[in-house]
Every structure is written in structure tokens, then in C-alpha cells.
Amino acid sequence: MTGKMRKRGSVGITNATIVPMDQGPHVIKDGGVAIYDGKIVRVGRSREIERICDRTIGIEGKLVTPPFLNAHHHTYQRLVSSPKPSMRLLAWLSDVLFREECALSKQDVYQNATRECNEFLRSGVGYLILQESNLVYDEVVRACCSSGMKAAIGRYCGDNNRVLPSCIIEHPAKAMTIINKYRQVYGKGSRLKFSIAPRFLPALTPKALATLKDMLDDDIITQFHVNESLGELELNKEIHGLTPINLLDRVGLLHSHTILSHVIYATPSEKETLYERKPVITISPTANMQLAGDLAPISEYLKNGLLVTVGLDGFAVTRSKTYIEELHTLSHFTDIPQQVIIPRVLLSSATVAMRLFGGGQLTTGAYADILVLDVATESPWEYLSQKLNERDVFSLVLNGEVAYGEPIL
Ligand SMILES: [Zn+2]
């Protein structure tokens, strides 16, 4: 949009420090963002934004970034019992989680998911990648929809009655039929995306797994818990005869539309496969330390070009931590300096959000998804990596509309 093409109704925010997260860590001082019809039409210096916008709002002393992405989460898990301190993953799943999941109240799930969406918006998270129980999927979709949150909502499936109790069994073909109905109802809107999430690979029979790839189209992402515990690895070998990474590669499900959660263990040859196929990796530091006692080799993954994001996983384990607290937890458990790992995760997350939701980077043509932090700083990356605090969230804008906080537009 040039000066001549100034559009009635265009609005700009100006006089802020902008961290666009579009091409590396660059910063625009005394900058702004021009918005028209829910999308960003220019990011640049304040003077430029003033010239092209119908109306501008100066927000001196504020830091402007894309909203955060919580890249792996289950809202319903707040309603099930936490694992005991020494409990490993498989024991928690079979002895506690599956049983309690089958007895969930739909009303509790809806109320809790609404509460969690609002908590996330308050703490600067504008994007969620969820995996939710097929038994309460509709309640979570409705809660995300009414909160205005942007979410990719994975529907659990699994048909292996050796691993799953009958109450939660759902064949992936049935899950896909249901997901396609949601896609029709919610259309191609940018806020909600629907995806398929086999609980983990042992939950699928080899026959069901073999049919999964043919059910997917280019628009759909798949989410898997992969290599989250040694017990899962053993179980997977028993059922499928291969490790999860080799198995996914063999059936053609390992690519940039695949989100792999945890990936704590990988052999050198499996790592090479990951670097070639480039799935998105999600780390959940608190849950990984609790349920496996270890974290993925994050620095290797980053060094070899993988996008590494962070997800809270579920409040049954993280106990109401915020996304920002989980970023700090990650930096405590890795040997990568905080001022390196947090920017890398934020930049990876911005790329993933852009792919999934068409926002997440402050750039022309993206949805106007903007996080305003009440921070006056000369060194925004130092703030983001070392002093970031949810109390500084001033306003969160999605598609050019204020979703939380001060009505800046
Ligand atoms: Zn999980």
C-alpha cells in the first residue's frame, strides 16, 4: 500500500520497538505496524506507517512482537490426576489417565478449556497446537472458538485394543471423517485448524497405520508423541517391529507437515532421517523431566536446521505454569545459554505459526496477530531471552482485533 493507496479504515500502531521475527532477530526502533482488514500491510519506521494509514495510535514505551505459540498441549489433562513423583509415562497412561479420561464430564471439559484459553491469551499466547481426547473433542473446539484463540486442534485416535481401553478406541478413518466435517463447518478461516493425532504409534495397529497416509491431504498436519519414554520405544518395537522414527519414515508420514512431540531419544541414523525430512519438534521440559527424566538433544536438532518449539503438554504435569515460565524451565535444563535458546525457540515458533495460521511473523500479508508488551527497552532480545514476564502483556491482537488486554486499536 503506497501513500496514494491509503485505504479508509487502515490503522497503524507507531512509536514502538518492533521485533518482527520474520527474517532472523532484527529489530525496528521507533517502528510501527499498519493494519487493514485484519492483515498487516506494512511493518516499518513510524513515519512510514503514519504516511499510509488513515489513523495511527502512538504506543511509546512498548515492545511489539508476534504472539507466542504453545506448540503442544492437552487442555483435558488438567482434569485428570497427576502422575506420582516416580511414575513413568506408560504407567501413568494405563493406570490413571486412560481410565479417568473415559469418565470426563463434557461440561467440565468445556469450562476448563475456556479457562485455559483465557489464561493463555493473558500470558501472551495467541496460538495453540492441541491434542485432545476424541471423547471431548467438540467441547474443546467450542471453547477455542468462543475464546477467539487460534488453535490447531488434533483429534486423538487409536485402534489397538492391546494398548487402549475400549472406551477411547477410535479408528483413524473415523477420526478423519469427523475432522473433515469440522473443516467444512469452520471453513477455511484462519483461527481454527483441525488435525489428526494418533495418541502415539503403539496405539495404532500396523493395519491402521498403513492406511493413515492415504487419508491425509496437503492441508492437514499430523501430530505424534514420539520417543517420549523408553517404555514407549520398547512397546513400539514389539507392535510394529521398528522404532517410531523409522516407522513414520517408512509409511511416508515424516515431513514438514508432521509435528513430533518430545523426541527425547534418537539414534545417529534416526537423527539423519529427521534432518532430511524436517518435521517440527516440540519439547515439553517439565513433562519430559518428570515422565522420562531427560530432554531431547536440542542443540543438535537446532544445529541441523530443525524447528524446535516448546509446549506445556498439560497441567496435570506442569501445574499451571505459563508458557513463559516453561521457556525459562527449558533454559535451566539445557546447556545452551538462555540468551541463545529462547530466541531460537521464539523464531522457530514464529515460523511454525506462520505456516499453520498465516500469522506469527510481523510481515506484509500476514494476519495482524500482534503482542504488545509494556516494556521500554533498548535491547529487546535481551529482555525477551532473560526478563520476559507475563505481567508485561499489555494487549494481544489476533486478526486485527483485540483478544486480550488494552483496546489499543
Ligand atoms: Zn502430550
Task: Give the count of beta carbons closer than 10 Å to the beta carbon of residue 196.
Answer: 22
Q: Which of the 8 DSSP states describes residue 320?
A: S
Q: Quote the ligand 1 centre to 81 CA distance (angstroms).
A: 15
Q: What are the structural domain ranges in the chain?
A: 3-66+359-405, 68-356
Give the Å distance between the CA of 272 and the centre of ligand 1: 24
How many angstroms does the Cα of residue 110 sit away from the middle of ligand 1? 19
Same fold, 3-66+359-405 and 68-356: no
Tell me the whole-structure pTM to 2 decimals: 0.96
Q: How far is the CA of 377 from the centre of ligand 1 (A)?
A: 36
| Helix orientation angle between 230-240 and 206-215, rounded to the nearest 10 degrees | 90
- What residues have CB less than 8 Å from 15, skipping those under 6 apart? 30, 32, 46, 58, 59, 60
Strand partners, 283: 310
CA triplet 319, 322, 328: central angle to 5 degrees?
Answer: 105
How many Å lie between the centroid of ligand 1 and the Cα of residue 322?
16
* CATH architecture under which domain 3-66+359-405 falls: Roll (2.30)
pLDDT band at 66 (very low <50, low <70, confident <90, very high): very high
- Say how many Å lie between the CA of residue 313 and the centre of ligand 1: 5
User: Pick from 250, 248, 243: which is nearest to 227 by CA?
Assistant: 243
Please tell me the distance from the alpha carbon of residue 164 to that of residue 101, in angstroms, as a whole number: 11
pLDDT band at 56 (very low <50, low <70, confident <90, very high): very high
- For residue 270, give every residue at least 6 positions away whose Cβ sits within 8 Å of its Cβ, in sequence order, or none: 243, 245, 246
* pLDDT beyond 50 at 3: no
CATH topology of domain 68-356: TIM Barrel (3.20.20)
Average pLDDT, the chain: 94
Query: What is the distance in A from the centroid of ligand 1 to the CA of 195?
Result: 15
* Residue 323 CA to ligand 1 centre (angstroms): 15
pLDDT tens, residue by residue, 39-55: 999 999 999 999 999 99
What does the DSSP 8-state code read for residue 358? Answer: S
Checking if the pLDDT of 392 tops 90, the result is: yes
Question: Which pLDDT score is estimated for 5?
Answer: 65
Burial of 177 (0-12, 13-18, 19+ CB in 10 A): exposed
CA of 49 to the centre of ligand 1 (A): 42
Ligand 1 mean position, distance from CA 196 (Å): 14
If you write DSSP's letter for every residue of 49-117 in order, what string do you get? Answer: HHHH-SEEEE-TT-EEEPPEEEEEE-GGGGGSPPPPTT--HHHHIIIIIHHHHTT--HHHHHHHHHHHH
Q: What is the mean pLDDT of residues 145-167?
A: 96
CA distance 400 to 319: 32
- How far away, in angstroms, is 32 Cα from ligand 1 center? 37
Per-residue pLDDT reduced to its tens digit, 230-264: 999 999 999 999 999 999 999 999 999 999 999 99
Confidence band of 125 (pLDDT split at 50, 70, 90): very high
Instruction: Outline where 123-205 has alpha helix (H).
Output: 137-147, 172-186
375 C-alpha to center of ligand 1: Å? 33
Question: 73 CA to middle of ligand 1, Å?
Answer: 6
pLDDT class of 190 with cuts at 50, 70, 90: confident
In whole angstroms, what is the distance from residue 393 CA to residue 116 CA?
16
283 CA distance to ligand 1 middle (Å): 10
> 218 pLDDT band (50/70/90 cuts)?
confident
* Ligand 1 center from residue 7 Cα (angstroms): 45
Least confident range from 107-121, 170-184, 187-201, 393-407: namely 187-201
How far apart (Å, rounded) are the C-alpha atoms in residues 251 and 248?
A: 5
Mean pLDDT of 267-282: 97
Q: Which pLDDT score, from 0 to 100, does residue 35 have?
A: 97
Q: Are 57 and 13 in contact, with CB atoms under 8 Å apart?
A: yes
